[in-house]
Amino acid sequence: MASPPQPPSAAWEFQLPLCPGDLLRSGGPASPRLLQPAQLPGALAAFGAAFGAQGPRAVLQHFDALSGLRLPLVSSHSNDLPSILDDPGLSSSDRLAYLNALKMNCYVLTRLVEAFEMESFKCDSGCTKRSGFSWEEERQPLIQLLTELLQLDLRRLWSGLVVEEEFVSLMTGICYRILENPTISHQKHRPTREAVIHLLAVTLMRYDHMLSATLKITQMLQHFEHVAPLFGEAVSLWATEYGMKSIVGEVLREIGQKCPENLARDISGAKGYAVFLTELAEQIPGMVLSNMSVLLHHLDGENYTMRNAILTAMAEILLQVLNGDQLEEAARSTRDQFLDTLQAHVCDVLGHVRSRVLQLFTRIVQRKALPLTRFHTVVCLAVGRLQDKSVMVVKNAVQLLAAFLSNNPFSCKISCSDLAEPLKKEMQKLHEMRDKHRAASALAITPEEEWEAMQPELKATVQQLLHPLQGEEEREVEVEVEDTAQDTAERITQLLRKLNYKAAVCLTQEAMSCFQGIEPFINVTKCCPTVNISLKLPALLMDSSVGSHLRNCVPEPLNDSEMVKQEMLVQYLQDAYNFSVKIIEALNMVSRMMYKNSVSVVQEAIEFFVTVSQFGVPQAVLGVRRMLPLIWSKEPGIREAVLSAYRRLYLSPSGDSERVRAQNQVQSLSLLMVDASLGTIQCLEEIICEFVQKDEIKPSVIQLLWEQFTQKLECSSLERQAAIMLLGMMARGKPEIVGSNLDVLVTVGLDEKVHKDYRFAKEVCNAISKLPALGKNQAPFRLPQAHLLFECLSSAVSAGFAQPSTLWLPFMEAAVTLIYQLAEGPEEICAQILKDCKPEASPGSIPGGTSALPTFLLTHLISLVGHVALQQVMYLEGAVSTELRRCRVLREEQEATKRAASSNETTMEEDLGLVGASADDTEAELIRNICETELLDEKQLFCTFIPLVLKICNNPLVYSDPALSAAAALALGKFCMISAEFCDAQLRLLFTMLEKSSLPGVRSNLMIVAGDLAIRFPNLIEPWTPHLYARLRDPCHDVRQIAGLVMTHLILKDMVKVKGQVSEMATLLIDPEEEIVRLAQNFFSELSNKGNAIYNLLPDIISRLSDPDCGVAEESFRTIMRHLFSYITKDKQAESLVEKLCQRFRTAKTEHQFRDLSHCLTLLPLSDRGLHKMQENFDCFADKLQDPAVYSCFRATLSRLHRGGTKPETKVRTSEREISRPGRLGLTSRLPELKVYEYVGLLATNMHLLPFLELSAELKEDETPTKKTPISRASAHRAR
């Protein structure tokens, strides 16, 4: 057993150990013994008895037991200390004993806290709770106990009245240890955090812990990411509630002294500092402002997180401190400097910083903290960033512009046209006020002041003119006969004011001779004339009568305040006008972003146009319409953004009553229909259908539309047409809207007045066509032939046939389509229409014979017969085939029911499910035979029209009318859809017209027809595929656009083989028409989703486009390749393309091809394997490196790889040889002798010997602002 402990000597003082092992090695009186587990119960019992007798001082004799167990001590020590410290008779020995007891107790307690913290960090909280003890619940009371202890005047226990630093470090150490635990940032531990912060505040206030705390905070910020917001909260609390403002400056100074180069490497530490600075600036921006100067040099550092943090701090200061119009001059100067810095970093070298600054400006604008004088500058910066390469920068630039709109101080309606006239008017008014002010200022000069100014020059003039030796000169002015003395005096005064001194002197001399003795020309003296004139002139100028006369002419001086108000008004209007101009400029740029690949950018662009529309910018309508096709997007976020935009713009009308709101909603929706294209109408129909299905369109709106349609409500023809179009769109979502009012549609929309407005009648047909077809197992919805609808349609088509209206053709197509959709026996109705119309187009029906037959009649006839033929085929293959299948299925079900009642046996075909498939084939063959053999039979009606169509197509010089030729070409294509045999016979004619016709309308129609034929008869069209691709280079942009649409559809549906000819689609990427470029971009975007399609096609595309005979310029080639290579993202694809491109150098023949191939290599994401591929194929391009352009491309490629870093094994052993150009090393003649890896390895490893190429990952050259940021950058220095 261990011997009982001896009490320490009176002069002994307990020294706090740095680590527990120091206690065992100290050898002092309080050095604890290492107790065995069996000794612990007895030692604890002895300590318990001693504590009952001596209190906290029992630790002096039993420290070994407590230090070995590290159990919590009773807080009674803290309760006893106040009375002990207040005892004036406390002896030195008692003081020392209590001091030792305090140190020992605190040491044991802190060691216990550290031990539990270590355990809680290692295991989760569940294990402690399962054992019945939760350290997290016990931790807070212990911290509060230590805080109460430190709030006592413990200095009296120390002889020098200064608490030793080790004791303070012991107490604060556990605080920092607790804060190191990542779980302390959880919300449930907030009381513990507050307790720790309070304890540290006491040490700062009472125990001079400032320096140590500053160093510890900066150290922990560097190593523990989670403590940054905690220390931000703590420092702000210490500075505000505890008055420790100096801690802010100390910590910020310590951070400011960090080396920017080190922070560029220490990413984690920089992030901690950045978060801390941001938190601190948000909570105490005023104190951060006082110490901002120590941080500014980090704006020149490489670490972007520090730049972002300092810029964020500036923004917070601008928002909370330097905001308002009542700032002092110094504060205003600081505000301007901060804004200048933020503006400069809008053009920062890194996209992360540019994006962050734009976000900060958005907050500043939203809080109305941006001075009006800077609006134009910041708006221009935001518009410039719309062309940024970084997606996040573009997104935040759009958000900033939207914030400018929402918080602009100018007007709720921003329109250049509305602002231009008031601005011109007010500027004219200002100019007039300034002119009056200048005139008043000039006339306000006293005659004495005028004379003082003109006296020197006037005196010289008098002496010169009246000098005795001057001689007689011709008088410039003379006294008029009718002039009085007063008139002459006024003339003299006016001459003086006009600075015409010579004339004034001569006239004065003349007047003094003519008006002797008459005022005001009485001689003053009888001396020489010089003296008389010198005295008379000032008298005339200052004569009271003359002065009073002139004063009557002086305008009333303007009030300076009026001038200032007018100047402010003009400046306001000018700022508003400039703002609207930049917003309109941004509209075109943002509208192009709607089809970017980034979902977030598209959503921001949509939101921007919603905001612009709400501010009444007329040009916003174009953007609102342009977003319509996005309703077909596969991205749910984009589709929902479009729906939300139209919901806010058109389904949230203002108004006091339901009726007024419905009227406003109908009016806004009707405006969308004005001049809307077919594509726009289809998109709108999808959106409105969605709204109707979700019951977002009120019944009052639908009722109002019916009132406009039936003209119960007075409206224009355009409003009436828009009403039926909207009703048709809504009927797609709810067919009963039209179904329940079919009679109204027929009687009102298709009455005898239909010929007055065929456009309206066509929309009525489209609305009726929304009636639903029933399921495939139910009888289709069809109306009898005698129904009023078909009677009206037949009458309208027949009556309008002989009328030269360009609107009849669209109506006719809609009417025929509706007849085939809803009528029973539609072929009979349409045959009768043809029979009725044919005589109208016969030469005998027109007096004068064939030559007098109007061309429009032939156009109407062949358009009608062509469309009927097409609808007949669709009717047979659609409705008839479906009805045959339905009847067969019903028949089979009945037979199966009968068999089931009589027998349970089934045939093998029934078991295998072959009966239905065989029947489907039989029905399809039946329909096919009808089309092939019967529809174009000589006995059929269609056959009589085919010769006419062929005659027109074969004789373009005779039938040269563009409309007729286009209609004949389209009709020929529709006839070809009927029969494969007829189609095969007419293909040569069709493609000859497609290639050689001089009419764009003919080529466009035939391109559409060819696309349909490629789907219907792919084997027949396949040999003619090159003719389809050839239209992609048609001189007419409309034909190119249609060809692009057709080929996009055919290629993506795998209806044509995609070979090297797809390079013609790539040429559309450089088309002058923006719509065609977007079409090509969309095509390749969709093609990239089809596996490795673009990767497989790229080599052939490169070969064809780099061929000089292709006619693609070098810069255009690079534009195309930049877009196509953006889809190559896989390393294996890049490696394979490197090899293929290197091998292509062997077959390339011209320098143009060498440069194109080398440029393609710069576009690939080169990896280590890609470098190996390049090394292996070095012989393919070695001799081409003498070309400066080729060499530059290879150097740029390897430079990018070098900057990205390579594996050590990729480094080549021979790195000591310098390389700049092959010829300079004498390598040109030795290339065949060098190992592949030696030369390429030299390129890869000696990049530090080459001029550094700064290839920005963020901005292209044309996107980088010409005005560089005034703040220096270490990254910018590298380029030197």
DSSP codes, 627-675 = TGGGGG-S-HHHHHHHHHHHHHHHS----SSHHHHHHHHHHHHHHHHTT
Q: What pLDDT does residue 885 have?
A: 86
Mind spelling out the 3-state secondary structure of 888-925?
A: HHHHHHHHHHHHHHHCCCCCHHHHHCHHHHHHHHHHHH
Region for residue 849 given its phi and psi (left: phi exceeds 0; alpha: psi -120 to 50; beta: otherwise): left
Note whether 1247 and 1202 are within 8 A (CB): yes
pLDDT tens across 1194-1253, in order? 888 877 665 544 444 444 432 332 333 343 333 333 333 333 333 444 444 433 333 333
Q: How far is 523 from 1237, CA to CA, in rounded Å?
A: 113
The stretches in the chain having pLDDT less than 70 are: 1-95, 121-135, 155-156, 159-161, 411-415, 417, 438-450, 466-482, 517, 522-560, 773-777, 843-852, 902-920, 1200-1280
How many CB atoms are closer than 10 A to CB 501? 20
Long-range contacts of residues 115-124, Cβ cutoff 8 Å, at least 24 apart: 115/70, 117/174, 117/177, 117/178, 117/181, 120/181, 120/183, 121/180, 121/181
Question: pTM of this prediction?
Answer: 0.71
Tally of helices (H runs) and strands (E runs) in the chain: 62, 0
Question: What pLDDT sits at residue 646?
Answer: 93
Q: Which H or E run contains 594? A: none
Tell me which residue has tokens 């970093």. 345
Residue 789 tokens, joined? 């609808």
The total of other beta-carbon atoms located within 10 Å of residue 403's CB is 21
H or E segment and range at residue 297:
none
Q: 1040 CB contacts (<8 Å, ≥6 apart)?
A: 1031, 1032, 1033, 1034, 1068, 1071, 1073, 1076
Cβ contact 171:146 at 8 Å: yes
Q: Are 501 and 461 in contact (CB under 8 A)?
A: yes
Task: State the residue for tokens 């007055």.
Answer: 756
Question: Cα-flanking dihedrals φ and ψ of residue 557, to 5°?
Answer: -60, 145
Q: Which long-range contacts (CB under 8 A, 24 or more apart) does 1091-1096 make?
A: 1092/1133, 1093/1058, 1094/1124, 1094/1127, 1094/1128, 1095/1127, 1095/1128, 1095/1130, 1095/1133, 1095/1136, 1095/1137
Helix, strand, coil shares of the chain as percentages rounded to 5?
Answer: 75, 0, 25
d(CA 1182, CA 1232): 8
Q: What is the pLDDT of residues 693-705, one digit of tens each?
A: 999 999 999 999 9
| Residues 6+ away with beta carbon under 8 Å from 810 | 758, 759, 762
Three-state DSSP class for residue 783: strand
- Any idea what DSSP says for residue 848? T
pLDDT of res. 562: 79
How far apart are alpha carbons 724 and 720 in whole angstroms? 7
Buried b (16+ CB within 10 A) or exposed e, 760-799: bbbbbbbbbbbbeeeeeeeebebbebebebbebbbbbbbe
**How many residues would you count in the chain?**
1280
Residue 15 DSSP code: P
Q: What angle do CA 561, 563, 565 make, to 5 degrees?
A: 70
How far from each other are the two terminal CA atoms of the chain, in whole angstroms?
Answer: 79
Give pLDDT, residue 20: 59
Q: How far is CA 1006 from the centre of its chain?
A: 40
What is the SS3 assignment for 522?
Answer: coil
Q: Kindly give the residue spans of alpha helices, DSSP state H, lying in 350-468.
A: 351-366, 375-385, 391-406, 416-443, 447-465
